[in-house]
Amino acid sequence: MDNVKVLVTGGTGYIGSHTVVELQNAGFEVIIVDNLSNSTIESIARIEHITGIKPHFENIDCVDYVAMDDMFSKYEGIKAIIHFAASKAVGESVEKPIMYYRNNVNGLMNILDLMPIHGIRNIVFSSSCTVYGQPDVLPVTEDAPIKPATSPYGNTKQICEEIIRDVIHSGAEMNSILLRYFNPIGAHPSAEIGELPVGIPSNLVPFITQTAIGLREKLSVFGDDYNTSDGSCIRDYINVVDLAKAHVLAVKRMLENKQDVALECFNIGTGKGTSVLELISAFKKVTGVDLPYQIVGRRSGDIEQVWADSTKANSVLGWKAESTIEETLLSAWRWEQKLRASLIEK
Ligand code: UD1
């Protein structure tokens, strides 16, 4: 796929930057569009440091139709889009629903509107296992029913999936792959790129690494009275590099016209559930660092347990989660250590 142009919206962010690295390693020419609302421009230099290639970068908000139109004209010949750019904090979405609907839904609609104008047929959409809510059957397959969303953020993922479905059903010459991520964690093995939460992290692994390094006093485990083996919630934690590779396979599948239908959907998870307490003890074991924690009450809106059946991604997409949870936690820890050391230097 040498020099085939791929647009990555949100390409300086956590999953986006890892995906840009894998795309460039596979020979694609990457154009990043990002408004830097939840990432920094430093990502570009870090991507270049890892791959030796500087991706094109445009500081644009996908909600800005005219700027997006101009960008597509400037980089004529884009063959596929991976659309990550979106707001993703569940709690914030409850407080600022309009901001979430505007960013996440309008951004996608602009892109879908502009694709045929610029002759682009292929789009990978960043979705989430949040669409399944608490599944009735575990592991959850792509055929499981979509449950009512419990937050505006979750609702935007469902709405965006439906918009893509409706556009394709309308007869538009468009192919799409929806990737439903489980819980992405970890960092690139170089520790050049990783998750960079703004303020107090709401996700588990950044909170763990920040506690381990001494930035937070202790971790709160949200509930130990769930109906699970140790009482804490269970998730499917997927390595971010493995997840990034799923995007490269999805783009190739569309470009090589291998899709069975114009709209396909894949679960991207390991197929294995890990409880919060298991994750904490795995982190302590691989890093040797003590992690102070306390059990507190349940977090409102949390799902008790969910993990993926990723058979479809394994057999159809040819994708497989390769890293162990230990390797992944170690990568998150190395990233946190390198990040703090670099901040102290500054
Ligand atoms: C959350 C979102 C999900 C979104 C994903 C993005 C909710 C309900 N869901 O997933 O829609 O796609 O982030 O990454 O917010 N935990 C603690 N202590 C902490 C933080 C988390 O015990 O300080 C527990 C949670 O209760 C949960 C697990 O760790 O059981 C994972 O939490 P988190 O990393 O926030 O991810 P999700 O809630 O699964």
At 143-163, the pLDDT tens digits run 999 999 999 999 999 999 999
Q: Which residues pair with 181 in a beta bridge?
A: 128, 268
For residue 276, the model assigns a pLDDT of 98
Judge whether 340 and 213 are in contact, CB under 8 Å: yes
For residue 171, the model assigns a pLDDT of 93
Instruction: Ligand 1, residue 150: give the atom nearest the CA.
Output: 8
CA of 277 to the centre of ligand 1 (A): 13
Q: How far is CA 285 from CA 179, 291, 342, in A?
A: 32, 10, 25
Whether 153 sits among the annotated catalytic residues: the reply is yes
Mean pLDDT, residues 25-49 taken together: 97
Token pair of 327, please?
A: 């390797």
Q: Give the residue whose CA is nearest to atom 36 of ligand 1.
A: 203
Q: How far apart are the first and last CA of the chain?
A: 39
Q: Give the residue whose CA is nearest to atom 2 of ligand 1.
A: 90
pLDDT > 90: percent of the chain: 95
Question: How would residue 346 be classed by pLDDT, with cut points 50, 70 and 90?
Answer: low
For residue 252, the model assigns a pLDDT of 98
- In whole angstroms, what is the distance from residue 182 CA to residue 327 CA? 18
Question: How would residue 198 be classed by pLDDT, with cut points 50, 70 and 90?
Answer: confident
Q: What is the pLDDT of residues 86-130, one digit of tens each?
A: 999 998 999 999 999 999 999 999 999 999 999 999 999 999 999
Token pair of 138, please?
A: 């575990």
For residue 340, the model assigns a pLDDT of 86
Is any ligand 1 atom within 6 A of the Cβ of residue 69? no
Please, what is the average pLDDT of the chain? Answer: 97
Q: What does R_g of the chain's alpha carbons equal in angstroms?
A: 19
Instruction: Ligand 1, residue 91: give the atom nearest the CA.
Output: 15
For residue 159, the model assigns a pLDDT of 98
**pTM: predicted TM-score of the whole model, two decimal places:** 0.97
Mean pLDDT, residues 42-54 taken together: 98
Mean pLDDT, residues 28-37 taken together: 98
Is any ligand 1 atom within 6 A of the Cβ of residue 86? no
Q: Give the residue whose CA is nearest to atom 8 of ligand 1.
A: 302
Instruction: Ligand 1, residue 181: give the atom nearest the CA.
Output: 12
Residue 229: pLDDT above 70? Answer: yes
